[in-house]
Structure 1
């Protein structure tokens, strides 16, 4: 018996009767309602081994999934994850749940567990028998439980081992951080992940849709009815086909379907109904899809549905800020919404399989995706990373990614790796070919990429590696584009990572070089771990990069266009304006040199700049104001008086820069048209007064009472006129009454050491964020935010039953 199995056995003995009563799912009830049933509620969890490698007393507690035990701690300098993982603890954990089955259930069909993600090295047991395991914490896995189940109560246990640190270069979380499902299938059924939908002909109102699928079980004389339905569930098209024991294919020719696009992401549903000889429906499965065409070439760049598109992309890690790795659908939806609102039309899922719900939201909201498999390959970056598993598991992990995700219209490319360490070894070409060929075999409709880099002068030697890719990813090397195009004229490129400060130069290359089809900045959103990347710092503070030394008390990055509480930074607005043709204007103020200290920028950093005209003690001293716009000129007013007018051109990088002696009051910038007349596009900043109140804003007014839905709340310290006080650092405490639960709160301060499980946090730049989850009951949700000496803020929301 191996060690994990031994730990499992001990925990079974110590299990209390209350667990059997409370943490259970009835297979019979599931069979009568749904083919696929979410079983996230009411698991028993215990930490088996702590951060110090010590066995801990078994003490089960009831938890709901998604669950991440690491985020429920303070940031601690000595934590095992260290600088890479945001100074949070790891360890080993065990989850348990009882499945109740009848004799009829056992013989009726197949019962499968669908584990979307567990970090990491998850082992699945039923009744003390090992069903299977997967080392990679980002792979979704299907486990067939059928032969392990018996009539009555069955103990389902999942052990998770994240004790081998360090195993990643960023915060991963610990535990079953994504959804868990039960699939209850009849003896004859459509094989999970076998449905594959393609659109070989794409024309507006005249497209061809093909679908293939596999059937498991006895199917002689069976037929399948296949339907296409619109987003409202209305039946549009139907076809029927006899069933083969292996692959089955259907085709809808020249159907007038709307095209999926980033501006109009139209989604359809393909439904397959298996019928026996008598016409009875045996199994039903549906898959969403979109009709769209992607093309890319050195002469015409990237096209979506025959329309040229400049890819303005963001690299995005998988954590969800204040709630850690927990992948609630509402968190993924909010993340995509913020990226879309920030002007991004593409994301790269760096550097791992994304959450299924993240891809669902990219489909719904219209963002293109590079779907990435791995960070590294056979040479390690961290002592316990994927290099320990790739030789045995690469095939299964690539299949998990591509088979699971290939029907998403948002996905435009598969990425097989990132900055692999063995890049100068000849075997790297063989590895790349092996991974890329499997992607193409499973899905020949999409290109394959990998992010290449070098930190020395040898770049041309990677041409054989680049030749294995359909599109070559450049990390921080787009300045090589012109020379590389002359040397390899048929190479299509995109910058898979770039420094935030290089926004203008990277936009310029993407806009002017057709063979450079996009830029993906590192990163779209601040993330936990890689602590200190993107920092700015003052004289006397740690002046090294995150990969050189520990950065404590930094626990997160600061290189994102959007911060940890989903507030946009000035660099975000700059990037959006560069890539957009829509008229707009944005103004910000550069922090005065020496105001808090002498300012330095790190490699991924940008100069600290704020939407603030509140600089007490700096009266009379010059402050730089920058205004971003593509209008030809900008006029600045200070306290109502015209101060100066500046031209804005490509040569000024679409910035107007003003140096203004600081005085309290207000500043206003106005865009001028080509005739020199003022437009309606303007920005105003006012000096804030003393803090008098807390202001609360929620991203939505209604929750779904499903124990899963989330509301994102922003608390701001404001003055008597309702203006944000950007220098306020009052401690704000959140409380939730009614049918809601506070599951995370904190500021965007990357150096705060207080964990996000606390309800109270000091404001940073006047702001604190919070995340509230619904319960399973409908009712009112009252959210309060209070601070000593300030007027209390309160909002009242509704939680309603799911329709």
Structure 2
């Protein structure tokens, strides 16, 4: 029997923060540690320059920007679009352009920081970055998805002007999807005493978790960067969600000069509130370092959750002892019309949308996500597979990470595991996706090396990888893993119904899950997870649509053609604006989420130009279906109507007349179809629950649009200079029905303490720019993203379009 049991506590966010550059002290007022957000008042120059790192370099004509920033999503110089049909990244990059750019930030450091330790911390820069301070090279960081920091204590000028310069190179063909370019995640200035908790230096585990109690082991790595020895006291308190202290511990230690120690503390929580997707209960640990005079040297605050995970071929995945199927989706790091820019609200919104649509798990593809993303998963209750790389030594593209793997893999694994090891949301580490050497002895040996190394950093989780081209030749690779991730295990490359049962017969102790599945094979992939206990769940490719891999959800593979102007992948359950697509409604039925009854129509004319030579195994597309009942010119002609139903039968009704009932059980994959002569009006589907309650869904014919309507996800945002509001713009008829065939140009004006940072639609072939205050509607909708400034007040957004009644939306900034 292959069973793995893990019991641990996980940390959500590291340390105490100071908001922006005003250095406002947080609630731990005595804490000498300061984390200063370093995102504001940067300059950028697109293109390479000589001596851009020098203090005296003249950057007066460089553009002023704030972080996070992605230059590839911006208009190309001299154009009104970011897209280029000749872009070197081509289809993979969504015809968006990388290159080399420079960033510079000029700042002062107060003399009061004398004797402090100062570090500059980058959460993520894509990709190959070099950093200088005052002309001195601090270092290089090739990988675009891991955090890194430099000690600047001996380079910074106190009481004087300092210049931080960053050269970023996103050159050549280095990725299979859109990566973005630049300093796309947060930057922090960390200020501490010489004696302090090391970055990523806290590890919390629970060797025993029961309903009655949880034993909590906290290991804190503390650095002494002074020459002198020192005796310290480590005071740790754990608070519950209400802020009440539930347990504490004090430990005295001596640290020699210029050395570090690990301090272990054991605490016990009575009647712990366990973390799960349904109940994401969290605690807070406050770790305080004092000297012999009881003076505070450092405080870090950790939010964590307690839970157990267990995996076995007999019982699958048990979370806190409860059987849990992974309702998963793969997700890239991008934020649609924002590019890769990792605004906190954008990261959180993606998690919210996944949760709202029935997902309980996300596989991060194919790199570590932002810290804020994982915080949101912890807080909202989403399970996570945290992944390292898309390749090792063998390349997938000429300029990809394979050029750096041997020198950097261990540092980048450290950056992922040490940073993320305490998040309760993370249930597995993945060491790679579809690694080219997966079928070779060298690949198995590299996998073994990485798995063993990760176990030295974190033994509380299993290690997995996502593998394609499945067959016995991958057995040595799978043997090095705790859990085996199967890409496209149902049909696809294999020409067979399912490979799980066959492999279970060959290797009965192998624990498996579908790490990627085709949307078109949603039913079979999910039935495998339901049927076989050794299959943990299914992760669709993909949960959220993304830029790059353009048109795989329509044109598919092979990808040797130029499919411009396609730029979206067009394969997500959720489209690039965050709107639900037909396949997501079908997944609602499979996962028993929400209404479980939906109705669609196959257009009499294809939604996009058809691709005739799509490979038979290329199944990232969904059926060409739309939720529309506006088909002028096709009166009395039969249209195929498709119903997804989680009930035994469904009845279709057109303008009050029944078109009959059809069975929608598992034998029919919970789908029913009718051929319906088009007649404008109302098309309704009805179903009956087991308790007799009637469930319905309806499509109505809309008349010509007469007005604009705007709806926002939030009506109040923070005056942080970074908070966002997503405003959905809809074109409605006189009965407030969305007209699904309108593509009017909508223009926007904004007043008050905010700015429009992106406009978008769900049209995967649109090459309109994302930054100008206008957008053509697609299927009657578009999206506006507003970013707050640092002042409070009221934002007024005006939307207008020719021959339509304008709309105004007000947003409070506080």
Task: Tell me the TM-score normalized by structure 2.
Answer: 0.90
Distance 1:583 1:562 in 2: 17
Shift of 1:674: 4.7
Alpha-carbon contact 1:743-1:771 (below 8 Å) kept: yes
Deviates more, 1:295-304 or 1:603-612: 603-612
Shift of 1:491: 0.4
Match for residue 258 of structure 2? none
Distance 2:597 2:431 in 1: 39
The answer to whether the aligner puts 1:414 opposite 2:429 as a matched pair is: yes
Distance 2:128 2:665 in 1: 54
Q: 1:476 aligns with which of 485, 488, 501?
A: 488
The answer to whether the aligner puts 1:515 opposite 2:534 as a matched pair is: yes
Q: 1:556 aligns with which of 558, 568, 585?
A: 568
Alpha-carbon contact 2:731-2:742 (below 8 Å) kept: yes
Shift of 1:80: 3.2
Match for residue 545 of structure 2? 526
Match for residue 171 of structure 1? 178
Match for residue 720 of structure 1? 734
- Post-superposition Cα deviations, 1:43-77, rounded to whole Å, max 9, x if no partner, equal 12222339xxxxx9963121110011111122121
Q: Which runs of 5+ in 1 are unaligned?
A: 1-23, 51-55, 537-543
- Post-superposition Cα deviations, 1:99-129, rounded to whole Å, max 9, x if no partner, equal 423444232x211111000111111211111
- Post-superposition Cα deviations, 1:742-775, rounded to whole Å, max 9, x if no partner, equal 0001111111111211221211111111111000
What are the within-5 Å matches in structure 2 for residues 4-153 of structure 1? 35-49=34-48, 59-73=61-75, 74=81, 75-107=83-115, 109-153=116-160
Match for residue 161 of structure 1? 168
Alpha-carbon contact 2:549-2:568 (below 8 Å) kept: yes
Indicate how the Cα distance of structure 1 residues 439 and 688 shifts in structure 2: closer, same or farther if over 3 A, else same: same
Indicate how the Cα distance of structure 1 residues 583 and 551 shifts in structure 2: closer, same or farther if over 3 A, else same: closer
What are the within-5 Å matches in structure 2 for residues 667-686 of structure 1? 667-674=683-690, 679-686=693-700
Match for residue 761 of structure 2? 747
Distance 2:608 2:264 in 1: 66
Alpha-carbon contact 2:32-2:298 (below 8 Å) kept: no
- Post-superposition Cα deviations, 1:633-667, rounded to whole Å, max 9, x if no partner, equal 11221101222111221101112222211100001
The answer to whether the aligner puts 1:425 opposite 2:444 as a matched pair is: no
Deviates more, 1:592-601 or 1:396-405: 592-601
- Post-superposition Cα deviations, 1:443-484, rounded to whole Å, max 9, x if no partner, equal 000011111111xxx711110000011111111124211110
Match for residue 8 of structure 1? none
Deviates more, 1:722-731 or 1:751-760: 751-760
**Counterpart of 1:646 in 2: which secondary structure?**
strand
Distance 1:778 1:183 in 2: 27
Alpha-carbon contact 2:118-2:191 (below 8 Å) kept: yes
Shift of 1:582: 6.4
The answer to whether the aligner puts 1:569 opposite 2:561 as a matched pair is: no
Distance 2:292 2:788 in 1: 46
Distance 1:244 1:413 in 2: 36
Distance 1:761 1:719 in 2: 19
Match for residue 460 of structure 1? 472
**Counterpart of 2:375 in 1: which secondary structure?**
helix
Structure with the larger RCO, 1 or 2 (CA within 8 Å, 6+ apart):
2
Match for residue 771 of structure 1? 785
Distance 1:761 1:583 in 2: 32
Match for residue 242 of structure 1? 252
The answer to whether the aligner puts 1:314 opposite 2:321 as a matched pair is: no
Alpha-carbon contact 1:37-1:182 (below 8 Å) kept: yes
Distance 2:499 2:630 in 1: 42
Indicate how the Cα distance of structure 1 residues 309 and 395 shifts in structure 2: closer, same or farther if over 3 A, else same: same
Match for residue 20 of structure 1? none
Indicate how the Cα distance of structure 1 residues 503 and 171 shifts in structure 2: closer, same or farther if over 3 A, else same: same
**Counterpart of 1:609 in 2: which secondary structure?**
coil
Matched residues, number: 759
Deviates more, 1:701-710 or 1:733-742: 733-742
Shift of 1:163: 4.1
Indicate how the Cα distance of structure 1 residues 332 and 747 shifts in structure 2: closer, same or farther if over 3 A, else same: same
Match for residue 391 of structure 2? 376
Alpha-carbon contact 1:76-1:753 (below 8 Å) kept: no
What are the within-5 Å matches in structure 2 for residues 360-375 of structure 1? 360-375=375-390
Deviates more, 1:218-227 or 1:481-490: 218-227
Distance 2:805 2:241 in 1: 45
The answer to whether the aligner puts 1:220 opposite 2:230 as a matched pair is: yes
